[in-house]
Structure formats: structure tokens, C-alpha cells
Amino acid sequence: MSQKGQNDFSQEVVRCRQEYQEMRQASNLFPPATNPILDMTNSPPGEKPSMTIWYEDGTEMGTSVRLYDIPGTLSGDIFRLRKNLPSATGPFEVEGNTVRQLDHCLEPPEPNEDDFEDISDLITELPLINVDTEKHFVKKGKYRSEIENLLRCQGGSCLGNPLSPRIVKLLGRSHDGQLVFQKLLDCRRVLADVSSLNIYKRWILDIIEALSCLHSLGIVHRDLRLDNCLFSENGERLTLCDLESRWGQRAAPEIANDGLDVGWTTSSDIFDIGNCIKCMVYANFPITKYVEWVVPSPLDAIVEACMRPVPNTRPSLEELKTMVESLE
């Protein structure tokens, strides 16, 4: 791509971000233009697509608003930040263009119970690291699968050779039993400063390389999102982290909304690459899954391919790599 083309792309990225921020700030679906949110939940499988939000109102339970996703109507436009919630007191719902007052607040969901596993035996086998906060970051391990997956990606041990430099390397354990990694940058410290197509291409190829390694080992990431990507000090390279392969993203249409083993596959990881690209471009995370983020050309073709609704119509990682490398 010519320098002019690069500049035009960057300007379009900035325009998209500004347009979304204006919509986001004008919406009263979420703070700061409304009361703080206590909880949110999506409708269970088999029911009409909806989302219920509980807002603080001075009571213990708060007040609830339920919105049904019906595109082209008031409720659909509220989801997509095109229109605001109607003025109403107490609990209510919006279905299409109909606003209904409810005679009671909807019951909030039960809090999820932690399902953390006992991983003490795996932790004690890891080398002890004297943590330097300038060089390392630590996290509490929750599942055996994370440690096992990390070690498989580096030859079976912390001292082994990494199979991919694009997957975070487990260095060992801290004195208090946490997992120790090389310190890298969180995405929130990087995204807003980047609007270059060349850097986006590099990041996408880094994700593809990391997933290729995981998939070759029979590992599905399940939770591919920019929150689980780390960046080099100069922001030019991306490293994939959080290899729990347990709970994760449910964005791909073939993934059920409830349960643990609900259809995550290598193809659903590819679907999630599309969402990662959107978040790169907008330097943000969608406030609802219904927000429509248009991605500038030529990245729009990559997003479309990744997010095709039928899994077997999505490109393989090798095909996707070729598509990204050919972008101009």
C-alpha cells in the first residue's frame, strides 16, 4: 500500500473511533449517562434474544430493563446505540417498538461459583523465580489445563524451547505460588496509539502463528480476545496468553450460551480473530455484542471471512495467513 493509502487507512480508523465514541457517550444504556449497573445477563438458549440490565436505584436489587434484539426497531436500535432508552420509572421492557411497564423487578442471576481446581502439585514442580516487578508479571493459576497447555507449548518444561515466540512463556512460580511470566504490555496501553495497517497485519499474523501452534497440539484457545493478548514494549509484536482453554468467548454462532463443553473448536477460534480485529481498529471493546463496528478496507475482507456464520466456510489458518500477507 502506498504512503497515501496508509494515511487514508489511518484517517478512516480515527474517524470510526470518533464516531463510535460519540454514539457511546450519547447513549443512556450504560454509564455515564445513566445509573451504575449492578448486573447484566443474556437470554438462555431457545428463548428470544434479549438482554436484561439491573441498574442501581437505591434498593438492594435495583431496577431492571429487558431489551429484545429485533433489528430495525426501537429495542434493536437501543442495543446498537442508535437510540436511547425511553423515559420510564421502575422496571420495564422494550420489545420491538413496544414499551411495557413491569409490575416487579426481574430476578437477577445467581452468582457463578468458582470452579477453581487444586493445582498445588503442578505448582510445586515449577522452578522458583525471584520475582522482579520490572521484568515479571504474576497471576494466580486456577486450572490444571493452563499449566499443562503452557508447558506443552514450550517443550514440556519451563526450561524447554518455546514452540512459538507468539505464545507467552511460563517461567516458573513465585514464592507465594503464583505463575510467573515475562512482563509485557496490556492491550489498553497500546491500542489507542496505533492506527497503522502494517502494524495490524503484524498483530493478526502473530495471532495466526500462536493459534497454529496451539491447534497443532490439539489445543483450542476458546477465549481469544485482545484482553488475552500482550504486546512488546514498542507495541509492534503480539503475544497470546491465558491458555486455560476452559471458559471463554461465546461469540461464534455455533457455541451454546450455557455450559463448559459447548462446541468450541479451531473454527470458533478463527471466528474470534474477526472480533479481535474490530477491537484493534476501534481501540475498544464492544459495550454489547449487538454494536455494529464497520472495519475499513482492506481489513473488512479478513473480518468477513473469519466471522462467516457457518464454521466450515471460514478459512483455515494457513488460508487466512495468505489473505493477510497479501493485503495492500
195, amino acid identity: S
Alpha-carbon radius of gyration of the chain: 22
Q: How far apart are CA 186 and CA 184, in angstroms?
A: 7
Percent of the chain with pLDDT over 70: 98
pLDDT in tens, 204-258: 999 999 999 999 999 999 999 999 999 999 999 999 999 999 888 888 888 876 6
Q: How far apart are CA 257 and CA 217, in angstroms?
A: 26
Cβ neighbors of 44 (< 8 A, separation 6 or more) are 257, 258
Q: How far apart are CA 205 and CA 173, in angstroms?
A: 30
Q: In what order do the strands lie in the sheet with 136-139?
A: 136-139, 179-182, 170-173
Domains and CATH numbers, the chain: 3-101 (no CATH), 120-183 (no CATH), 186-325 (1.10.510.10)
Question: Of 252-256, 260-264, 324-328, where does mean pLDDT reach its minimum?
Answer: 260-264
Which grid cell sits at 192? 489507542
Q: How far apart are CA 168 and CA 166, in angstroms?
A: 7
